[in-house]
Amino acid sequence: MLGLMSEALQLRRATLSNGMRVVINPDMTLPGVAVNIWYRVGSADEEAGHFGFAHLFEHLMFSGTTSGIASSEHLATIESVGGSANASTSFDRTNYFETVPAGALELALWLEAERLAHLAVTEENLATQREVVKEEKRQRYDNTPYGDLLDLLLDGRFGNEHPYGHPTIGSVPDLDAACLDDVTAFHSTWYRPDNAVLVISGCVDADEGLTLADKYLGAVPAATGNLPERVQGPIRHDNPRVVVTRPLPRTAVTRAWATPPITDPDNLAVAMAADVLGSGMSSRLIRTLERERHLVDGVGMSDFGLARGASATLISAHLKPGVCEEELTGAVDEIITELATNGPSQAELERARAQVERGWLESLAVVDERADLLNMHETLLGDATLVNTYLDRIRAVTGDQVAGAAQRWLAPAQASTVVHQEA
């Protein structure tokens, strides 16, 4: 399967008369078809006082339509034909997606068109979904030992003047204060065909897919007026250290760096540096901190994958009893400095490339994940065909570029730090 997936994906790109962009990826070897819509609106597009509106609409979009689709009927209808549907919100986009048998593609597109054109935003729906979001926040953030980590990280790395300075989950006071006019204004501002990208991937002919997309989503009236300009804002450079003390299972230390956005050519070199440092059991962080020096119970490295002027890369570890923060951060700084000075070995570079390739091909082999990757490239990078050159670009990253990226973006002095300390 991986050998077949290494071939270029067939792609048809078009723009409907109402401004919606469409990408069709026909693949008759797949049993079903994925419908994936990205609206280019996320928490980074929220105004102060309206934090959480993007995530709120992830839920409201399942609340029915004025054209006769009842609340929750969208999901129930998709499931009744053997499909699945869901949604997610991030800083840069809100995503709605279905995976259905090939014969149900028309149904999925009709449902998406109906809720784009006729969403029922009512006082009752707003009250219901507001409570759903608040409960989600309580479960995932407020009532977990390290639940405030993301909030502290974003503030420390970006600051409250940057669009990325607050988490996607939202603010309870802002949600409680939201009135129907505020919410409908947010919807009419951002949920419009020319702010959306539709990807159809799987068992569908390209011409048929484009015809159906135009029949249903193309029938949604075009919006009037211009989209708001997307702001970026300044990034914090004071690199604060924040300590939170409370009863915890383990002391946790997280270090974060401002790194280039996914639109920046240097992003791939930073990603490769992160793979050498923290991906897999033979990576430098895991090998040194966990297996050799026994400083941590676990350590991980990841990037937020942000697109608006900057992203953030972080290292997070749970310390073993008796290990202090300074011992951990000193060891991390040594590891990063050594990579920045001498670069990765050829074996490390080849291992990182192989891991990236395996993960990439595995994602492309699953139709819903493939559709999401195509939409990310079309929405945030402007061209879905970049999916077909991704592995070539990864293979072209050199050891010197990895070292340079580590030196330029991951220097110890450029890190902000959050410590969750056992009481």
Can you read off the two tokens belonging to residue 39? 């609206």
Q: Which residues contact 374 (CB under 8 A, 6 or more apart)?
A: 9, 11, 23, 25, 36, 199, 201, 384, 387
d(CA 115, CA 118): 5
Counting as low any pLDDT under 50, the low residues of the chain are 1-6
pLDDT tens by residue, 352-407: 999 999 999 999 999 999 999 999 999 999 999 999 999 999 999 999 999 999 99
What is the predicted pLDDT for the residue at 199? 98
What is the predicted pLDDT for the residue at 423? 84
Question: Exposed/middle/buried for 392, CB within 10 Å: 0-12, 13-18, 19+?
Answer: exposed
What are 418's strand-pairing partners? 242, 254
What is the predicted pLDDT for the residue at 3? 33
Numbers of helices and strands, H then E, in the chain: 16, 11
d(CA 273, CA 335): 11
pTM of the model as a whole: 0.95
Query: Which H helix or E strand runs over 75?
Result: helix 73-80
The CA-atom distances, in angstroms, between 313 and each of 131, 179, 261, 266, 377 are 32, 36, 10, 13, 20
Helix (H, G, I), strand (E, B) or coil at 65: strand
What is the predicted pLDDT for the residue at 233? 82
Radius of gyration of the chain (CA): 23
Query: Which H helix or E strand runs over 391?
Result: helix 390-395
DSSP label at residue 220: S
What is the predicted pLDDT for the residue at 234? 86
